[in-house]
């Protein structure tokens, strides 16, 4: 069987449209019918038909007006005009309005089915075009190579290979900067959806009131500032993967709406009654302790189980042994070299901001050095201090980490220093630390820093 088409017949010749409906239903398509143009317009605004087949001369509504209003009520539905009295003028006019095809009755059913399938193809292409434009306009980063040979990264690689080709929801857990987005990209790249772009939303980077409209879209005029209709990222990610970063930050009020779309693929844009269906694979990431969030009532338990079909844990950089050296070599730009003690302190540092912080540190050092030779003076104070702290015990093995208490103190000190250096500017401090602004606020609260 060919693919199922969702068709609406708008024709006042009941016998004709019933005959067509029976024929199309026998072929496995879904058919709705109405004899009234107004009812056709209403139905199109409530349901996303693939194709509507219209009569040109309906009582009370001329063909041109019907086409115009059908297009307004749902610009995504393809229109085919099938009329008893076709004139060249009508055909030209309807094509100008974007009708897919204009034919006169009688028209063989097999040909009509082929025209419908071609219309569905055009609809799909148009949708893909919109998706691509949306993704490009929301800036797509190219996927980077994932560096790491330690056992936990090997294990992670094997899990990614196993889970990627399935359609299962995946929850990636790990501290900030450990590479959760890279893992999401790898899962998408290894999935049958890889030919479509991965769509990403970061719940922490958006003000709460914007998260809903970004995820689910909105109609024009649905709230102040909604000057144009905008499809949500779920629609943009139709037949692809949606990466929901920092899902732990998703406002509680929005969680039932997300649960619904995960359960049956249906959603409504803000300000719309129309139910839309999407087929989206979810990969989510968090650096929060989700069971704790659930216990505290900040995250719905049912939603947690939905997104956590497969959990992937990313180890912090300080637990990856020799990988730190590999990452340093990978991210050190050509033409720069490190003093031995610099390399040693990079390897021994606890990296609270993980790989992102390591990349920032190397970039900063390459700006600080005058001659391409990076010395301890080119490192940020937190690294210099931590190296000084370990000088008293040079036999300290790479993996022997400071006690948790001192790690927290180190983090506090580092944040305070960065804030001081950036004259208290939190946006710049967050950038320097390699974290989102909202995360910085949480860190400040955690450490009681004013």
CA count, 13 A, side-chain hemisphere, 270: 24
- Contacting residues for 130 by C-beta, under 8 A, at least 6 apart: 231, 236
Among 15, 6, 69, 81, smallest CA distance to 37 is for 69
How are beta strands 170-173 and 310-313 bridged, if at all?
A: parallel
Residue choice 71, 218, 356, 414 for contact with ligand ATP (CB under 6 A): 356
Among 179, 248, 315, 380, binds ligand ATP (CB under 6 A): 179
For residue 277, the minimal CB distance to ligand ATP (Å) is 30
State the minimum distance, in angstroms, from the CB of residue 444 to ligand ATP: 16
Q: How far is the CB of 379 from ligand ATP (least distance, A)?
A: 19
248 binding ligand ATP? (CB under 6 A): no
By CB under 6 A, the residues from 316 to 345 that bind ligand ATP are none
Cis peptide before 106 (omega within 30 of 0): yes
The piece of 85-93, 110-118, 145-153, 192-200 that touches ligand ATP (CB under 6 A) is: 145-153
Alpha carbons 301 and 152: distance in angstroms, whole number: 28
Output 69 or 447, the one with its CB closest to ligand ATP.
Answer: 447
CB of 317 to ligand ATP, least distance (A): 8
Interatomic CA distance for residues 4 and 1, integer angstroms: 8
On whether the CB atoms of residues 434 and 353 are closer than 8 A, the answer is yes
Interaction between residue 182 and ligand ATP (CB under 6 A): yes
Is residue 352 a contact point for ligand ATP (CB under 6 A)? no
CA distance 113 to 82: 13
- Letters for 193-232 (x = contact with ligand ATP by CB under 6 A, - = none) are ----------------------------------------
CA angle 60, 62, 67 (to 5 degrees): 120
Beta strands in 17-59 (DSSP E): 30-34, 51-54, 57-58
Question: How many other C-beta atoms can be found within 10 angstroms of the C-beta atom of residue 88?
Answer: 8
Nearest CA-CA partner of 138 in 183, 198, 93 = 198
DSSP letter, residue 12: S
Q: How far is the CB of 159 from ligand ATP (least distance, A)?
A: 14
Q: Closest distance between ligand ATP and the C-beta of residue 383, in Å?
A: 17
Q: Residue 315 CB, nearest distance to ligand ATP (Å)?
A: 10
Tell which one of 52, 186, 324, 355 touches ligand ATP (CB under 6 A). Answer: 355
Query: What number of chain residues touch ligand ATP (CB under 6 A)?
Result: 18
Q: Which of 77, 176, 200, 240 binds ligand ATP (CB under 6 A)?
A: 176
Residue of 95, 92, 45 whose CA lies nearest to 70: 45
The residue within the footprint of ligand ATP, chosen from 37, 63, 174, 352 (CB under 6 A), is: 174
On whether the CB atoms of residues 217 and 230 are closer than 8 A, the answer is yes
Minimum CB distance to ligand ATP, residue 184 (Å): 8
Residues binding ligand ATP (CB under 6 A): 144, 146-148, 174, 176-182, 245, 285, 287, 355-356, 359
């Amino acid at each position: 069987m060919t693919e199922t088409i969702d068709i609406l017949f708008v024709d006042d010749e009941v016998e004709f449209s019933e005959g067509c409906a029976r024929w199309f239903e026998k072929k496995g398509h879904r058919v709705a019918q109405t004899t009234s143009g107004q009812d056709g317009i209403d139905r199109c605004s409530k349901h996303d038909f693939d194709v509507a087949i219209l009569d040109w001369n309906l009582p009370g509504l001329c063909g041109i007006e019907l086409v115009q209003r059908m297009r307004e009520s749902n610009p995504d539905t393809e229109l085919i005009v099938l009329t008893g009295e076709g004139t060249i003028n009508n055909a030209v006019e309807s094509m100008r309005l974007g009708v897919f095809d204009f034919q006169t009755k009688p028209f063989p059913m097999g040909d009509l089915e082929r025209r419908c399938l071609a219309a569905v193809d055009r609809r799909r292409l148009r949708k893909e075009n919109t998706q691509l434009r949306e993704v490009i306009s929301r800036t797509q980063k190219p996927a980077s190579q994932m560096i790491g040979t330690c056992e936990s990264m090997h294990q992670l690689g094997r899990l990614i290979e196993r889970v990627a080709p399935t359609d299962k929801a995946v929850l990636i857990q790990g501290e900030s900067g450990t590479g959760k987005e890279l893992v999401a990209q790898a899962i998408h790249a290894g999935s049958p959806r890889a030919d479509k772009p991965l769509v990403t939303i970061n719940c922490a980077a958006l003000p709460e009131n914007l998260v809903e409209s970004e995820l689910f879209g909105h109609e024009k005029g649905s709230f102040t500032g909604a000057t144009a209709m905008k499809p949500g990222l779920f629609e943009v990610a139709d037949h692809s993967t949606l990466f929901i970063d920092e899902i732990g930050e998703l406002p509680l009020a929005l969680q039932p709406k997300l649960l619904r779309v995960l359960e049956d693929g249906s959603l409504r844009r803000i300000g719309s009654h129309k139910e839309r269906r999407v087929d989206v694979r979810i990969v989510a990431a968090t650096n929060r302790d989700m069971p704790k969030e659930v216990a505290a009532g900040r995250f719905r338990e049912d939603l947690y189980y939905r997104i956590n079909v497969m959990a992937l844990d990313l180890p912090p950089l300080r637990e990856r042994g020799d990988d730190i050296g590999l990452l340093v070599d990978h991210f050190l730009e050509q033409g720069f070299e490190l003093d031995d003690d610099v390399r040693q302190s990079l390897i021994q540092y606890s990296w609270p901001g993980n790989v992102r912080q390591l990349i920032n540190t190397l970039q900063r050092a390459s700006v600080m050095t005058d001659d391409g030779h990076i010395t301890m003076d080119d490192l940020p104070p937190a690294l210099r201090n931590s190296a000084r702290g370990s000088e008293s015990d040079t036999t300290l093995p790479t993996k022997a980490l400071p006690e948790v208490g001192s790690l927290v103190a180190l983090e506090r000190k580092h944040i305070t220093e960065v804030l001081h250096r950036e004259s208290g500017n939190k946006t710049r401090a967050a950038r320097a630390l390699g974290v989102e602004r909202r995360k910085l606020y949480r860190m400040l609260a955690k450490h009681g820093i004013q």
